[in-house]
A and B are shown apart, each in its own frame.
Chain A
Amino acid sequence: MPDLTVESRQVGDVTVISPRGFINAHTVRQFEQALAGALADGNQKILINGSGLAYIASAGLGVIMGVIEEVRSRGGDIRLAELNETVRNIFEVLGFNHLCRVLSSEREGLESYQPIAGG
């Protein structure tokens, strides 16, 4: 079984990136390439589906930290969904839950990017 696979797919104008395995100094390049690839293609609305993510070390958090300002300056965002308890805990301990929106499901993550109807 590979240490990390990263699948990217487009759902409307949102790019869903699904890492499966773990992200640490050994595997981070794959994750970084998937994220950089989406941004290079002009996709600025990113949703990371963490349902297959066992854990994320500082190398992976650093990738998000390093690009999120630029993504936001272009009108986009990086949001996360379906994090397991340990990943969510790491996010909370480091304050990443204040930096990025963390949604409980992919559906909620996708909906969070849709403009609010009505009004």
Chain B
Amino acid sequence: MPSKSSRKREPERKRALMELRFPSENRYLHMVHQLTKNLAESTGFEAVEAEQIALAVDEAATNVIQHAYGGEPGHEIEVHFDPEGESLDIVIFHEGEPLDSVPVPEFDLDKLVAEKRKGGLGLTIMRQMMDKVEHGRAGTGKNMCVMVRYKQKGSERS
């Protein structure tokens, strides 16, 4: 019989983390989109909110493929999902060009239309759909995009 001093300690609870790695090709975007949507729905977000989060991740991954890797296939993109706690935290890692150095003007739909621009919406979608979007560099040296969406109800987006 174990004594008090040798009582088994509760194992330290680790935060649940899901990881996904996929090649830098547009054909994988829908898979990432659907996985994100399903994960968001299963962690308490409404369907419309889950679609917003999925779209933000779709746009972030598209930016990595098109801008960080310049459309080159064969590079790796890594996505970490942390659905525990008050928010769904998503981090996209890549080893392409850092995206934080890309200048992004203030979103002005009328101006984009007048200029007949086809691009310029991706980062705006990410910022509109998520509560936090930050680009930076991870301790591993990889570039990363951190996106957070809080789980509180009554979001003004939906």
Contacts and interface: CB of A to CB of B under 8 A. Distances in A.
B125 A94 contact: yes
A89 B59 contact: no
A89 B51 contact: yes
A62 B119 contact: yes
A26 B55 contact: no
B37 to A, nearest CB: 9
B43 interface: no
A11 interface: no
A89 B52 contact: yes
Contacts of A95: 109
A98 B69 CA distance: 34
B61 to A, nearest CB: 9
A26 B31 CA distance: 11
A53 to B, nearest CB: 12
Interface stretch (B1-9, B15-23, B110-118, B139-147): B110-118
B118 A65 contact: yes
> Which label, helix, strand, loop or mixed, suits the secondary structure of the B interface?
helix
Interface of A: 3, 22, 24-26, 55, 57-59, 61-63, 65-70, 85-86, 89-90, 93-96, 98-99
A65 B30 contact: no
Interface residues of B, number: 33
A62 B48 contact: no
Contact of B118 (A63, A89, A96): A63
B113 A69 contact: yes
Contacts of A67: 116
Contacts of B113: 65, 68-69, 99
B116 A89 contact: no
B62 A59 contact: yes
Contact of B128 (A25, A69, A94, A99): A94
Contacts of B136: none
Contact of A96 (B65, B109, B120, B158): B109
Contacts of A85: 47-48
A31 to B, nearest CB: 12
Contacts of B58: 24, 57
5 closest cross-chain pairs (CB), A and B: A58-B121, A62-B118, A26-B26, A66-B118, A86-B51
B117 A62 contact: yes
Nearest to A95: B109
